[in-house]
Amino acid sequence: MDPMDPMESSEFEPTADSWAEYAPGWDDDPGARAYSSAAYGSLIEVLATRDYSVAGMSVIDFGCGTGLLAEQLVDEVESIDAVDASPAMLEVLDAKIAARQWTNVHIGRDLPTGSGTHDLVVCSSVCGFLGDYPGTVTRLAELLRPGGLFVQWDWEREDADGDGDGLSRQEITDALTAAGFDGIHVDTAFELPFEGEVMRPLIGIGARPFS
């Protein structure tokens, strides 16, 4: 979703599609493209430190938007379930899938059913604006196979009273712990200068235990 102004939503669906006016031109936004490229780079670094590769993975892209992160993964992974609450964003992604003949990307507004079905879950700039962030992380954890990884990017909120956008490092740590993840790590994902500012989101990582 928007790297500078993430979507405010309930658990899976907003009350209105606040992204409708942005969706048609979203792929042309230089900030969105720079952010997604930096997020992808940080993902590859994370996987490498844990002896993982995206090659052949089954992925859930939760909060996929128009698929800027998905388009960087599509040639390497086995499949992507791209999930978003915004019909307008999904419409743009659907057109992209058709134009580029991506046969391994499937879109929807709901999470896949079942459990233990995927190798990787990525959530880019969406978790901080969910109605039930811990509950959603727990549900996403259930969709991972043993050893599967959960990776999120969100703006850091430092206000101890819980005011302001984003999530604190402790909130991310607590949610990933409650979801039962091992190997939890929360840190700055990347530092990317852009138009006089520096994008400096957090990255939260957890692995589903093997037992």
Contact 186, 159 (CB under 8 A): no
Domain membership of residue 146 (yes or no) is yes
Into how many domains does the chain fold?
1
Would residue 15 count as lying in a domain?
A: no
Range of the domain at 40: 23-207
Domain presence at residue 138: yes
User: What six digits make up the tokens of 68?
Assistant: 């800027």
Full pLDDT tens readout for the chain, 211 residues? 434 333 333 344 444 688 888 898 999 999 999 999 999 999 999 999 999 999 999 999 999 999 999 999 999 999 999 999 999 999 999 999 999 999 999 999 999 999 999 999 999 999 998 999 999 999 999 999 999 999 999 999 877 566 668 999 999 999 999 999 999 999 999 999 999 999 999 999 999 999 8
Distance CA 45, CA 30 (A): 23
CATH number at residue 100: 3.40.50.150
- Whether 16 is in a domain gets the answer no
- Torsion on CA atoms 139, 140, 141, 143, rounded to nearest 10: 100
Is residue 87 assigned to a domain? Answer: yes
Whether 95 is covered by a domain: the verdict is yes
In-domain check, residue 4? no
In this prediction the pTM is: 0.90
